[in-house]
């Protein structure tokens, strides 16, 4: 009985190794210009305007939409309550960046995790489970 299970297991393993599943040509390949390849290689946030929805603790968790301008490792924006926001961006790796924002009565440290579609999930530090997103505006 044990021999049957071992034989069946070995046959399955051999089929997987030598079969179509192991053939790289048989696997779906991303297009050479696929955004996912670019995301993993990002060393800086692509410049431009990002529309963000932030659930700000200072606003009792009410979502606020901010337009943030990213240029040369810096980030700027404006908010009615916090005034001018400025910050810096540090790469972490694999499409993840640390963003630190400061404004009047506002401080935030965030991780921006880029996705293949060019948007970034925003995670506050500490993360309170907010659903926040940065979306690049069309040029």
Residue 20: which domain range?
2-29
State the burial class of residue 23 (Cβ atoms within 10 Å of its Cβ: 0-12, 13-18, 19+).
exposed
Same domain, 45 and 22: no
Question: Are residues 53 and 78 both part of a single domain?
Answer: yes
The per-residue pLDDT for range 97-128, each reduced to its tens digit, is 999 999 888 888 999 999 988 899 999 988 88
Do 99 and 126 share a domain, yes or no? yes
Do 70 and 109 lie in a common domain? yes
- pLDDT tens digits for range 56-100: 766 676 788 899 999 999 999 998 888 899 999 999 999 999 999
54 & 114 share domain: yes
Q: Is the pLDDT of residue 27 over 60?
A: no
Statement to judge: residues 71 and 108 lie in one domain = yes
> Rounded to whole angstroms, how far apart are CA atoms 67 and 127?
21
Residues 82 and 16 in one domain: no
44 and 103 within one domain: yes
Work out the pLDDT band at 40, boundaries 50, 70, 90. confident
Q: Is the pTM of this model over 0.85?
A: no
Angle at 71 between CA 98 and CA 89, to 5 degrees: 15
Contact between 112 and 127 (Cβ < 8 Å)? no
Same domain for 94 and 51, yes or no, is yes
Q: How many domains does the chain have?
A: 2
Answer whether 28's CB lies under 8 Å from 98's CB: no
Separation between Cα atoms, residue 107 and residue 28, nearest integer Å? 44
Question: Which residues of the chain form beta strands (DSSP E)?
Answer: 48-55, 63-71, 74-79, 83-93, 96-103, 106-114, 120-124, 132-136
Residues 76 and 16 both lie in one domain: no
Same domain, yes or no: 61 and 122: yes
């Amino acid at each position: 009985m044990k021999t049957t299970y071992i034989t069946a297991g070995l046959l399955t393993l051999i089929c997987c190794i030598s079969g179509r599943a192991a053939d790289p040509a048989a696997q779906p390949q991303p297009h050479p210009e696929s955004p996912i390849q670019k995301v993993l290689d990002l060393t800086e946030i692509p410049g431009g305007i990002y529309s963000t929805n932030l659930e700000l603790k200072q606003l009792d968790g009410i979502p606020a939409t901010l337009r943030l301008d990213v240029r040369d490792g810096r980030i700027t924006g404006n908010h009615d309550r916090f005034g001018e926001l400025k910050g810096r961006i540090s790469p972490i790796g694999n499409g993840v960046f640390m963003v630190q924002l400061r404004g009047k009565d506002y401080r935030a440290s965030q991780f921006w995790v880029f996705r293949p579609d060019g948007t970034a999930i925003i995670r506050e530090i500490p993360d309170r489970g907010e659903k926040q997103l940065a979306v690049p505006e069309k040029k």
